[in-house]
Amino acid sequence: MIESEKRIKWYMLSFMAFSTLWGFGNVVNGFLYFNGVQVIFSWIMMFLLYFIPNAFMVGELGSAFKNEGGGVTSWIRSTTNEKLAYYAGWTYWACHITYIASKGSGGLKALSWMIFQSSEAYDAIPTIYIQVATLVVFLFFCWVASRGINPLKNLATLAGSSMFVMSILYILMMFAAPKINPGGGYLSADWTFDNLIPTFDMKYFTSLSILVFAVGGIEKMSPYVNKMEGDPSRAFPKAMIFAAIMVIISAIFGTIAMGMMFDPELINASPEAFDSYLANGAYMAFQQLGEYYGIGNTLMIIYALCNTIGQFSTLVVSIDAPLRMLLEDDRANKFIPRTLLKKNKYGAFINGIKLIVILCGAIIVAQIVAPGAAAVLRQLTKLNSIVMPLRYLWVFVAYIALRKKTNEFPREYKFVKGNGIALFFGGWCFFVTAACCLLGIISDDPFQMMLNIITPVVLIALGMILPVLRAREDKKLGIEK
């Protein structure tokens, strides 16, 4: 294959970014948390003021460190030091703890919709039984990971792609539905200016972490900056702007499509109603879409099947992959106690998996006190939106450090030429991420707020304790660093 054939065209990178970052769940969460079509204003602001600058900064970091394979950890190591790089790697792994804890619940919910084809049967089961089942599922996949096998890795990719296709299919079919079935009983959203501008109250600001979580993760595109066809300084911005436009269009039209189905007043009628819509909204949307087309629950069952496979396969991948990234890095694992580096005969980090069992198991067991299965999923969705974006903070730390040493790192692509403007955007995105995570902790639900506070504190504290324990080990062994 000649070199030109290996290059990635700008529009190919756009579609790669779009399919990696976006999904139907983002549309549903935005619609529910931000009062229906009012979320359109917030989506546009988030893309303009956060997503696009973030993407361009990631492009510059990827260009500067094109030969580094460790992503954010490598960027931090190159621009600062190995100790901070360890903390970046730890944060990436620790953020997956809440994510792993949510996958079992999400998989069981999807499976229940595929079998019972409604929310009532699953939501009526006492929380203690749901959480016991979730714990059993979680422990089973931990066992799978401990055997050194990962049979679901390819399924995770396939399920992710199919969920992306289903998201686009929903929008297209929903807009065509009124023409095909004019008597479907569609709702008409309020498009007045007053209704489109959200109320900037505490509820609004404490929900912004949901949107940050939705649009984050663009750093996954960084390895491709210097593999693009043509001049990266022109091709990469074009790719990211086009990806942003596609995401904006999907967010807006997906929101409009949901506005034709769901009434925000019914969603916000009570905390129980909100929890039910949050847990079941995506399935209800495909169920209703199937009714518009006269095919019953067919679309919903396909969506539930894809989501069941996706949730469970992502669970085992998330147990295995981030742990290996942290513990197999010789420069990061020198800050981690040797007992966590132990491998079993299958090549799995058995004590690392046991640590995951303790941390995720604690979250799963703690939620036994939640007032129902729907409340469990709401709590985990909010917790993920607070914890997962913490890893994005290291992207902006790396970017600020890069621009402060700008002459030391030659690169083909720069976000902006002026250092002052670059540092401003790095600081701005850091501030937005940190502020949204901190505000997201606030909740009217005392248990939710306790979970929001204790979980990141425990994970951060553990990340700080491990290097101390390793230093004591090294001192006993007479090892000098």
Longest dimension (CA), the chain: 80
CA separation (Å) from 310 to 155, 286, 316, 363? 7, 17, 10, 21
CA distance 105 to 130: 8
- In degrees rounded to 5, what are phi and psi of residue 304? -65, -40
User: Which pair of structure tokens corresponds to residue 319?
Assistant: 């147990």
C-alpha span between 221 and 177 (Å, rounded): 35
Tell me the DSSP string of 172-201.
HHHHHHHHH-TTS--------HHHHSPP-S
pTM, entire model: 0.90
pLDDT digit string (tens) for the chain, length 481 residues: 344 446 788 888 888 888 778 888 899 999 999 999 999 999 999 999 999 999 899 888 888 887 776 678 889 989 999 999 999 989 999 999 999 999 999 999 999 999 999 988 898 899 999 999 999 999 999 998 888 766 666 666 677 778 888 889 999 999 999 999 999 899 988 888 888 899 999 999 999 999 999 988 888 777 777 778 888 777 888 888 888 888 888 999 999 999 999 999 999 999 999 999 999 999 999 999 999 999 999 999 999 998 998 888 888 888 888 888 888 877 788 899 999 999 998 888 999 999 999 999 999 999 998 888 899 999 999 999 999 999 999 999 999 999 999 999 988 888 988 999 999 999 999 999 999 999 999 999 999 999 999 999 999 999 999 999 999 998 888 876 5
Residue among 126, 109, 107 nearest 118 (CA): 109
Q: What are the residues facing 228 on neighbouring strands?
A: 8
Q: Which residues contact 276 (CB under 8 A, 6 or more apart)?
A: 119, 123, 374
Alpha-carbon distance of 373 to 351, in angstroms, equals: 31
